[in-house]
Amino acid sequence: MKFPKGFLFGSATAGHQIEGKNINSDWCDWEQFPGRIVDGSTSEVANDSWNKWREDIEMLESTHQNAYRFSIEWSRIEPNRGEFDQEAVEHYRQILIELKRKNIKTMVTLFHFALPKWVATTGGFLNAKTGKLFANYCEFIGRELGDVVDLWATINEPQTYALSGFLYGVHCPGKKNFLTALKIGRNLNKAHILAYKKLRSVVSNPVGVVENIAIFEPANDNFFDKTFVRIINYLATISFIAPISNHTDFLGINYYFKVHVGSNKPRFAFIGERINDIGWGIVQDGLYTAIRQNQIWRKPIYITENGVADAGDVHRPKFLKDAFHYLEKAIRKGADVRGYFHWTLMDNFEWANGYTAKFGLFTRDRKPRKSAKVYRDLIDKYRW
């Protein structure tokens, strides 16, 4: 079958991970300390997409993609409180205009993990006032670029931001406190609602949020494991989506893995025989489950990230074919899925994993892997 007319076939990236020299961000400082990034690297150069963005668009074109999800970096737009950099705004406008000229639809993410230093030094999203500051930045961007953006995503993966940065301590700012992580989650929800209202007052195109959806299954068929699954699913998914479900025009789903959850040790274990380069299981039927489970919110769904760290490009071709199989299955069952963004366009700075996790259809020096052709052929097969 062909996917619905207007379906978006694209890739996703994030500014801090590809642009290079995002020097006014908290992550720029965080990366400098030994032991925080597994290969000792930094994002100083990354993919140099700040300068080579035209080459990035050429990669999208060469694989017949009609959509691109990327982020605008708050720290570039507002390097100091209340000081907006019009040159940075114009830089992003040039990118957006060129994408529009190429008939490539855009989804712009406004917060993808990196904060301006001046926000971080006042507590970041632990500070209740940050939500208003974020909403003001979103409103500013909406006024400046609303005419050239097709879809807006306020926040990327609030769950990952809360857990990795404030419970596990592997992301900036490296805190390890359960109650702090819960507070961050609540504050991010409030920030999204404020940003949604501000953006909707100045833009006409849809505004949504991007959630990381892991699929949890009981390790054993008993009451305790089944109950534990319900608790984890609530904490990791429902508690983030339910409070904002009336303040989003669509739901972005990032799906990567399924996890066995048990009441005894080990309490969490990846499901899947094939293991990717950073130890995650590869089980693509969870993509179908993620879509079906989240139809309860009655929102259009975009798969905003789905990828595999696979330096040898051994598993990615089948991974992509499986993704389209399960997308087709979900659409046949009536799911309102409107787009698929592969993570990622090219290998990049993968946060704490540095450059060791290679998710790209292309390498960092923009050479195509065989999976780039596989993706192109799938797009040609399923698009009108």
Enclosing H/E stretch for 193:
helix 178-200
**Which tokens hold the place of 317?**
């071709």
Structure tokens at 268: 């969490």
Tokens read off for 4: 């619905």
- Of 19, 157, 211, 350, the catalytic one is 157
- Per the annotation, the verdict on 139 as an active-site residue is no
Closest listed residue to residue 73, CA positions, set 130, 36, 22: 22
> Pairing relation of β-strands 258-261 and 268-270?
antiparallel
Catalytic one among 31, 78, 144, 305?
A: 305
Catalytic (active site) residue 31: no
3-state SS of 255-273 is CCCEEEECCCCCCEEECCC
SS3 assignment for 311-357? CCCCCHHHHHHHHHHHHHHHHHCCCCEEEEEEECCECCCCHHHCCCC
Phi first, then psi: give them for residue 123, nearest 5 degrees.
110, -5
- Residue positions annotated with a catalytic role: 157, 305
